[in-house]
Structure 1
Amino acid sequence: MDTVIVLFNRDLRVHDHPALAAACERAGRVVPLFVLDPSVAAGRRSAFLGECLRDLRESLRDRGGELFVRQGETVAETMRLARETGATTVHVSADVSALARSRQRRLAGERIELRRFPGVTVVPPDLLQPSGGGDHYKVFTPYWRAWSQAPRRAVADPPKRVSVPEDLAPGDIPDAEPYGIMRGGEQAARARLDTWIKEGLDDYEEGHDDLAGARTSRLSPYLHFGCLSPLETAVRCDQEAFTRQLCWRDFHHQVTFAFPELPRRDYRPRGHTWRADAGALRAWKEGLTGVPIVDAGMRQLLAEGFMHNRARMITAAYLVKELKIDWREGAAHFFEHLLDADVANNSGNWQWIAGTGNDTRPNRSFNYLRQARRFDPEGAYVRRYVPELAGLPAPAVHEPTGVRGYPMPL
């Protein structure tokens, strides 16, 4: 009887999971596996990850299956389980980061068949190449045109039954201190998607920059952990402004696939000389710069594990354009605290802001006061996250105090 291991990573769901669906169709026994690798610490995302894993285990058990959890180095633990179960094949959802691809290469070098499946993006990252040459698109707009016309695979149904080996220890999912304000897991993700389609999608283009209104989908952590299929999300959310954001996500993934050093090296070196200023960096991280709109965004990040999309742009631009601090410092802080931080999007967006990435206007500038007054005209966003300014009216609430590193005076 054939036994197939399905190695989960950023695909923690049963709906539209091609690797899982194929295993359940072809194999007599399936071993759904997640490896908690201590070398890849989830950090503040540990509690959210734990909720995702418990939800996935419940969904698999509802289908007669199990999620087997092991701790250790991913390839070693996968091969250990293969020997224990007699598995001859490993199924994975193909990913783009250097770490994910290194794991896949190492698994391919073992005495076991490795099969890669789509599922992390809407369009596979290596599917589209520019007609003029090159292995990937370096500019978003032509990629958007090609992506919009690209063929799509069918959304895969969840398996009706998952048959697993008997007498195999499931393994423990560790508990962690809660962080952020969102609950992890596919059930929470699908409920959020349903609510978003009914109540928020039609208004997205008009409202997604409204800082105080928080009229964004909040689906990004679920897309990052794979609790939602990007393809199914695109199919169900057939609205251009929102779909364009899913395309941006795919765009950064295809850039990372072609340039896996994106988190560490400038995609387009511009000869920047970055400042080393530990005090200014600490004030930025703690939301104590004295620029209210910047501080509001950074405090939202620390409190919620999330930051509004417009605030991400403003706070990142302040670090690299105003403080002249290396974008890698900002990207590392975001990666530590954001529930939705993944290698491709986080690094791609930071390099775009820094002018070292895919922005066609590398010297783009931002007027922070103008941004604040335009996207938080009543000052409600600032007052929500910078309570020491609660008594100030708009537009005065947005005026920089000039005090860095200390609570702002009323």
Structure 2
Amino acid sequence: MRTSVVLFTSDLRLHDHPPLRAALGGSERTVPLFVRDRAVDRAGFAVPNRLAFLADCLRDLDAGLRERGGRLVVRAGDLVDRVCEVVAEADADEVHMASDVSAHAQRREERLRRALEAAGVRLHVHDTVTGAVAPGTVTPAGSDHFAVFTPYFRRWSDVSLRDALAAPRTVRVPDGVGSEPLPSRYGVPGLSAGLATGGEQEGRKRLGAWLRGPVAVYEERHDDLAGDATSRLSPHLHFGTLSPVELVHRARRAGGPGPEAFVRQLAWRDFHRQVLAARPDAGTADYRTRHDRWRSEREAREDIAAWKEGRTGYPVIDAAMRQLRHEGWMHNRGRLLTASFLVKTLYVDWRVGARHFLDLLVDGDVANNQLNWQWVAGTGTDTRPNRVLNPITQARRFDPDGGYVRRWVPELEGVQGRAVHEPWRLPADERAALDYPDPVIDLSAGLARFRQARGR
């Protein structure tokens, strides 16, 4: 009997899973395998919030497989060693997996291919599993990737996506392939108190609810901080409990300005993936250097601490940073504002902020996190690299009544109206009654420093 192994990585689902479909179609028996890659731990990416969400996803995946007569095999260690180990135990003929874009993933795939070839086993790597349009599918003349989003989006929109695949009805796993115990979020310390639940079942429930109504007003309300009118599907996209291909198909079928705006955000995700695939070093190095001489972490220590703890004295910044700490997630407009404040108002290296986000974000991945930070810092693909987002102006526009600020900064819940965005301007007696810090920097001073640093 032919046997295959399906290596799950960031594609922890049964619906629309090309590697699983291919394995089941070519073999009588299949081993669904997940390896807890110790290289990820050593690199510092195995942080509490993502470990807990991952545990939810693995338990849900195992439950779905058991409903179909199968089970999930979990191993830990060096991924290449563990896959080869399972291949030998199952006497497998081939391995199927999804492609990925990070430098680590590309090196790992090549190591695995060489090891399997030495054992006479073929590795099949499938595109459009973790993205809707694979890197390299569309390219501009004279380059291997697009560096500007708008022309990329035009070409991306013209790509004919493959059909979404149904979940399998039956999965037959060979006997004799053992598994380590499934992890549990209850054994993970240091979790954000409001961390969401992971797993394909939860992701599909959220997707259904999103498409049944809220997506219709997404275009007009996606920047509404207090309204919280975004999909919150990013953790499920990061762990692959939802398929980007399926999301694009279903949003397009819904039709209208809201779903179209949502599809555009999915295209941004693919845009960053194709940049990182072509330039793997962009995860740690400037995509386009501006020759910045960032303040050292030692010099900016107190400002960085205030930013991380949500006590900069700018309410909308502090609200967003406190949401991040509490939920392991942050509204996208909040991400833009807090990033701009750190890199341009405080003039701190974007890598400091990107690392802090990766320490807490349940949806934190290298492509979206690092390249969004570079976009804001002006070292990435932004065509206006010196733009600075004013937190007061932005707060008035996207949190006009102050509901978002009052939700996350309870010290200010008694401040009425738009005054909540500038508490330092309150009458002296009202200001003195607030247990809330003064601004860590004057915005005009921060802007002047940034412009001077950039030679503007």
Give the TM-score of the pair, scaled to structure 1. Answer: 0.97
Q: Deviations over 1:168-204 (max 9, x none)?
A: 2232122233544311000000000000001211010
CA contact (8 A) 1:16 1:229 kept: yes
Of 273, 276, 282, 1:256 maps to 276
Greater shift, 168-177 or 16-25, is seen at 168-177
Query: Aligned residue pairs: how many?
Result: 407
CA contact (8 A) 2:145 2:274 kept: yes
Q: Against the structure 1 CA distance between its residues 217 and 350, is the aligned structure 2 distance closer, same or farther, given a 3 Å change threshold?
A: same
CA contact (8 A) 2:376 2:382 kept: yes
Which residue of structure 2 lines up, in the alignment, with residue 100 of structure 1? Answer: 105
User: Which residues of 2 match residues 360-379 of structure 1 at below 5 A?
Assistant: 360-379=383-402
Which residue of structure 2 lines up, in the alignment, with residue 89 of structure 1? Answer: 94
Q: Against the structure 1 CA distance between its residues 100 and 409, is the aligned structure 2 distance closer, same or farther, given a 3 Å change threshold?
A: closer
Alpha-carbon distance in 2 for matches of 1:73, 1:393 = 56
Q: Deviations over 1:79-99 (max 9, x none)?
A: 111111111211110000111
CA contact (8 A) 1:317 1:353 kept: yes
Deviation at 1:3, TM superposition (A): 1.4
Alpha-carbon distance in 2 for matches of 1:323, 1:381 = 23
Letter in 2 for 1:262: A
Deviation at 1:232, TM superposition (A): 0.1
Deviation at 1:409, TM superposition (A): 5.8
Deviation at 1:38, TM superposition (A): 2.9
CA contact (8 A) 1:263 1:328 kept: no
Specify the structure having the higher radius of gyration (Cα). Answer: 2
CA contact (8 A) 1:11 1:226 kept: yes
Any gaps of 5 or more consecutive residues in structure 1? none
Which residue of structure 2 lines up, in the alignment, with residue 126 of structure 1? Answer: 136
Greater shift, 299-308 or 277-286, is seen at 277-286
> For 1:174, what is the secondary structure of its paired residue?
coil
Letter in 2 for 1:345: N
Which residue of structure 1 lines up, in the alignment, with residue 261 of structure 2? Answer: 241
Deviation at 1:401, TM superposition (A): 4.2
More helix by share: 2
Of 41, 59, 63, 1:58 maps to 63
Which residue of structure 1 lines up, in the alignment, with residue 228 of structure 2? Answer: 214
CA contact (8 A) 1:56 1:67 kept: yes
Which residue of structure 2 lines up, in the alignment, with residue 183 of structure 1? Answer: 197
CA contact (8 A) 1:388 1:409 kept: no
Q: Against the structure 1 CA distance between its residues 227 and 272, is the aligned structure 2 distance closer, same or farther, given a 3 Å change threshold?
A: same
- Residue 169 of structure 1 pairs with residue 178 of structure 2: yes
Alpha-carbon distance in 2 for matches of 1:170, 1:139 = 45
Alpha-carbon distance in 1 for matches of 2:326, 2:38 = 25
Which residue of structure 2 lines up, in the alignment, with residue 77 of structure 1? Answer: 82
Q: Deviations over 1:87-129 (max 9, x none)?
A: 1211110000111111110011112211111201000112111
Alpha-carbon distance in 2 for matches of 1:207, 1:217 = 11
CA contact (8 A) 2:218 2:261 kept: yes
Which residue of structure 2 lines up, in the alignment, with residue 391 of structure 1? Answer: 414
Deviation at 1:407, TM superposition (A): 5.1
Alpha-carbon distance in 2 for matches of 1:315, 1:400 = 18
- Residue 43 of structure 1 pairs with residue 63 of structure 2: no
CA contact (8 A) 1:401 1:408 kept: no
CA contact (8 A) 2:90 2:176 kept: no
Any gaps of 5 or more consecutive residues in structure 2? 253-258, 426-430, 439-456
Alpha-carbon distance in 2 for matches of 1:49, 1:233 = 21
Alpha-carbon distance in 2 for matches of 1:266, 1:346 = 14
CA contact (8 A) 1:288 1:407 kept: no
Deviation at 1:282, TM superposition (A): 1.0
Which residue of structure 2 lines up, in the alignment, with residue 13 of structure 1? Answer: 13
Q: Deviations over 1:366-391 (max 9, x none)?
A: 11101001100110100111111111
Letter in 1 for 2:262: F
Letter in 1 for 2:287: Y
> For 1:30, what is the secondary structure of its paired residue?
strand
Alpha-carbon distance in 2 for matches of 1:92, 1:4 = 11
Which residue of structure 2 lines up, in the alignment, with residue 29 of structure 1? Answer: 29
Q: Against the structure 1 CA distance between its residues 303 and 138, is the aligned structure 2 distance closer, same or farther, given a 3 Å change threshold?
A: same
> For 2:294, what is the secondary structure of its paired residue?
coil
Which residue of structure 2 lines up, in the alignment, with residue 350 of structure 1? Answer: 373
Give the TM-score of the pair, scaled to structure 2. Answer: 0.87
User: Which residues of 2 match residues 224-373 of structure 1 at below 5 A?
Assistant: 224-238=238-252, 239-276=259-296, 277-373=300-396
